[in-house]
Amino acid sequence: MLQIAIVDDHTLFRKSLALLINSFSEMVVVIEASNGVELLDKLKGKPVDIILLDLQMPEMDGFETCRKVKQLYPSIKILVLTLMNEIDTIRNVVNMGVQGYFTKNTPPKELEDVIWKLEDNGFYFEKSLTSVINEILANPDIKIYEQNVQFTDRELEIILLTAQGMKAKEIAETLFISTKTVNAHKQNIQHKYNFENIMSAILYCVHHNIIDLKSISSNK
């Protein structure tokens, strides 16, 4: 059962979102908070797998909240859920190491699949943001690992299929290996090359023209 936290200062939206997520299979909302201060207080007594985080909030906004959560609870995945889609905003979010970005104008029925992709793949960025991500990657301000990485052929297969939105089980079936082996490859890619998460490895590959962002988005 996935334990979900929702952080948004708009009560009606937060309550409606909680009802929606609680209707999904194998998910439950265990924390609702109106800002980062409230979230951090509630996290002291509740285990959480994924946080759905708004950026614009009083007292402690989403950016500061993200930094605090990353410091205190690095295993928790963060999905930014916001109306903001400006390049500078998304660049800041990418640099903070969040696992996903989902705009509030996306149909609610897509959210369940997004959450599972985040849990399984470790990242999700909305397809409609492809052009924005492309522009961010072309900008040298983005935090991209500059080491000279030599991926194996199998590692590149895992990265590409993960970037295309395949879950571990689907990757395993495609490559005729076990799901356990797929997850082991993902962990090894992160630790072997010192990537913060699998999304960082994907961004590295896109930035260095190892894989093409257009081919990724066309398969989502």
Domains delineated in the chain: 2-138 (3.40.50.2300), 153-217 (1.10.10.10)
Ordered alpha helix ranges (H), the chain = 11-22, 36-43, 62-72, 87-96, 111-121, 130-138, 153-163, 168-175, 179-193, 198-207, 213-217
**N- to C-terminal Cα separation, the chain:** 25
pTM value surpassing 0.85: no
Spatial separation of the C-alpha atoms in residues 81 and 162, rounded to whole Å? 21
Amino acid found at 136: I
Residue-level pLDDT at 105: 76
- 6 - beta bridge partners? 32, 52
The segments of the chain whose pLDDT lies below 50 read: 140, 142, 218, 220
Cα–Cα dist 7/167, whole Å: 26
Residue 128: what pLDDT? Answer: 56
pLDDT in tens, 19-77: 999 999 999 999 999 999 999 999 998 899 999 999 888 888 888 998 899 889 988 99
CA dihedral (114, 116, 117, 119) positive or negative = positive
Q: Are 51 and 27 in contact (CB under 8 A)?
A: no
CB atoms closer than 10 angstroms to residue 8: 25
Task: Dig out the tokens for 168 from the structure.
Answer: 């571990």
Per-residue pLDDT, 140:
45
Dihedral sign, CA of 187, 189, 190, 191?
Answer: positive
- Residue 187, Cβ density class (10 Å: 0-12 exposed, 13-18 middle, ≥19 buried): exposed
